[in-house]
Structure 1
Amino acid sequence: MELLRYVAFSTDPSGGNPAGVVLDATGVDEPTMAATAAEVGFSETAFVVPRDDGSLDIRYFSPLTEVPFCGHATIATAVAYAERHGVGELRLRTKAGTVSVSTGTAPDGAVVATLVSVEPRTAPIAAPDLAGLLTALRWPAADLDPALPPRAAFAGAWHPVIAAATRDRLSDLDYDMPALAALMSRNDWATVDLVWRESPTVFHARNPFPPGGVVEDPATGAAAAALGGYLRELRLVALPTHLTVYQGYDMGRPSTITVGIPAQRSGGVAVTGTAVPL
């Protein structure tokens, strides 16, 4: 089993979100995948099994658990695959559903990958869960942006979207990890998508990931896709549009995620980024 290490959503290995990538995990059992991901220690490691029809089965493991879908590991996998086999179209079979990915070459020679998520959707957050979430984050309700209401959002995995009213509020992250982990486990939330809206199409994000044993994710493609679906469903953005999500800056691993929301109010949300080997 050849294990590759890539950084996604950055052209600099010191930025972005590291991911493990196994391009051929044929015959590797689940306990081995889980143990490998724990040993690697990145927020996710992707394991790919090629199928006879040309599609790829893919599974994602954090150090503590398996997740149904991971955006940054998908981008890393697509770039690694393109570097071995050439750019083109991929069809990934995830536990959340089929995700299409296209790769191409930028003018500077870097490989750029774009995934299209499964159908996004949102759901209300129950009042006790929202209260518990804010308590665990140590965020007063008065510090939230009333224009972006709290909501659970899905584009392959569930993420509560919690919008801060100021950049300072977003910068001040000091949460109760055991309490937040327990709440997220009960609700099947992958990460918490904490955002601040700088402009109609520019967001800054932070993503605690305690269920996976990760204090904070430097770049979360699945949450960025869910954010795009949330904004579309709640009619909080003009369509079609592209968003820029800056993440990881507060933890010294700057990342840039581009989110494409189509004109129609159904179908997947596109997430674009680069990746480079470590």
Structure 2
Amino acid sequence: MDVLRYVAFSADPAGGNPAGVVLDAAGADEPAMLAVAAEAGYSETAFVVPRTDGGLDVRYFSPLAEVPFCGHATIATAVAYAERFGPGELAFHTRAGLVRVGTSVGPDGRLAAELVSVPPKSAPIGAAELAELLGALRWSAADLDPALPPRAAYAGAWHPVIAAGSRDRLARLDYDMDVLGALMARLDWTTVDLVWRESATVFHARNPFPPGGVVEDPATGAAAAAFGGYLRELGLVVPPVTLTVHQGDDLGRPSVITVTVPPYPDSGIAVLGTAVALGG
């Protein structure tokens, strides 16, 4: 399989989140895809199989396991596809459901992709599970922003949303990877979405990802979509609204994720970003 290498949510190869992209994985089985993802070493690699109806079957593998949906690998795959076949509308058939992706050339001449997630939802986190989560993160209840309550959010994959009361608390990430990984595996959480609200529409995020064998994800489109749904469901934004999520700054891989939250309760969340091929 020919593995293309891109970074998503950045126009600079030194920023964003790297992803592997296999544009034709026809005939590959799960062990083969997992082996390729492990060799690529990125948080996710996307594997594409063209469908007879013009759509694309897409599966996502971390170095350790398959995940139902991955936002940054979707953006990377769509841009890679558009570079070879031209921009336009794509239908990604994922384990999480149908994800529509549009690609276009921006005013700066760069290709960008915008995905629309499956309908989002959220659920409470039990008191015992929240205590375990905070313990694994080495956070306390006093570290939290009471205006953004802890909750599990979904837009193709589950992510607990935990809001820091300050940018400094978000910057100090030092968690127990084994304990957090075991908790997340038990509760089917893909990443933890740690956020800090800078203003009404600007957020900063960090995403621990021990289930994928990665300490932290530099840009997490699936979590950003889930977060947009969380904000809408809890009435914490007034849609339609466009949000900016900064991620990866603390890793030295700055990423910018643009999230559009429509007003309709059952509609998917739009996530926009650029992607650029890695050299070598």
Matched, 1:143 2:134: no
Structure 1 position 108, deviation (Å):
1.4
Q: Give the Cα–Cα distance (whole angstroms) in 1 for the partners of residues 265 and 183 of structure 2.
A: 31
Q: Letter of the aligned partner of 1:268 in structure 2?
A: G
Matched, 1:244 2:232: no
Q: Which residue of 2 aligns with 1:117?
A: 117
Aligned residue-pair number: 278
Matched, 1:64 2:64: yes
TM-score normalised by length of structure 2: 0.99
Structure 2: gaps (5+ residues): none
Q: Give the Cα–Cα distance (whole angstroms) in 2 for the partners of residues 137 and 262 of structure 1.
A: 32
Q: Which residue of 2 aligns with 1:47?
A: 47
Q: Which residue of 2 aligns with 1:107?
A: 107
Q: Give the Cα–Cα distance (whole angstroms) in 2 for the partners of residues 108 and 28 of structure 1.
A: 37
SS in 2 for 1:208: strand
Q: How does 1:200-239 map to 2 (within 5 A)?
A: 200-239=200-239
Q: Give the Cα–Cα distance (whole angstroms) in 1 for the partners of residues 210 and 102 of structure 2.
A: 31
Query: Which range is displaced more, 260-269 or 217-226?
Result: 260-269
Q: Give the Cα–Cα distance (whole angstroms) in 1 for the partners of residues 108 and 124 of structure 2.
A: 43
Q: Which residue of 2 aligns with 1:94?
A: 94
Q: Give the Cα–Cα distance (whole angstroms) in 1 for the partners of residues 51 and 17 of structure 2.
A: 28
Structure 1 position 265, deviation (Å):
2.0
Q: Which residue of 2 aligns with 1:170?
A: 170
Q: Which residue of 2 aligns with 1:130?
A: 130
SS in 2 for 1:14: coil
Instruction: List per-residue Cα deviations over 1:217-270 (Å, max 9, x = no partner).
Output: 000000000000000000000110000000000010000000000122221000
Instruction: List per-residue Cα deviations over 1:63-85 (Å, max 9, x = no partner).
Output: 11100000000000000000000
Matched, 1:196 2:196: yes
Dislocated runs of 4+, deviation >6 Å: none
Instruction: List per-residue Cα deviations over 1:130-175 (Å, max 9, x = no partner).
Output: 0000000000111100000000000000000000000000000000
Q: Letter of the aligned partner of 1:199 in structure 2?
A: S
Q: Give the Cα–Cα distance (whole angstroms) in 2 for the partners of residues 80 and 220 of structure 1.
A: 18
SS in 1 for 2:180: helix
Structure 1: gaps (5+ residues): none
Q: Which residue of 1 aligns with 2:161?
A: 161
Q: Give the Cα–Cα distance (whole angstroms) in 1 for the partners of residues 183 and 141 of structure 2.
A: 18
Q: Give the Cα–Cα distance (whole angstroms) in 1 for the partners of residues 34 and 6 of structure 2.
A: 18
Q: Which residue of 1 aligns with 2:271?
A: 271
Q: Give the Cα–Cα distance (whole angstroms) in 2 for the partners of residues 86 and 21 of structure 1.
A: 17
Instruction: List per-residue Cα deviations over 1:186-213 (Å, max 9, x = no partner).
Output: 0000000000000010000000000110
TM-score normalised by length of structure 1: 1.00
**Aligned Cα root-mean-square deviation (Å):** 0.4
Instruction: List per-residue Cα deviations over 1:6-45 (Å, max 9, x = no partner).
Output: 0000000000000000000011111010000001110000
Q: Letter of the aligned partner of 1:75 in structure 2?
A: I
Q: Give the Cα–Cα distance (whole angstroms) in 1 for the partners of residues 130 and 53 of structure 2.
A: 44
Q: Letter of the aligned partner of 1:123 in structure 2?
A: A
Matched, 1:5 2:11: no
SS in 1 for 2:198: strand
SS in 2 for 1:18: strand
Matched, 1:261 2:249: no
SS in 1 for 2:204: strand
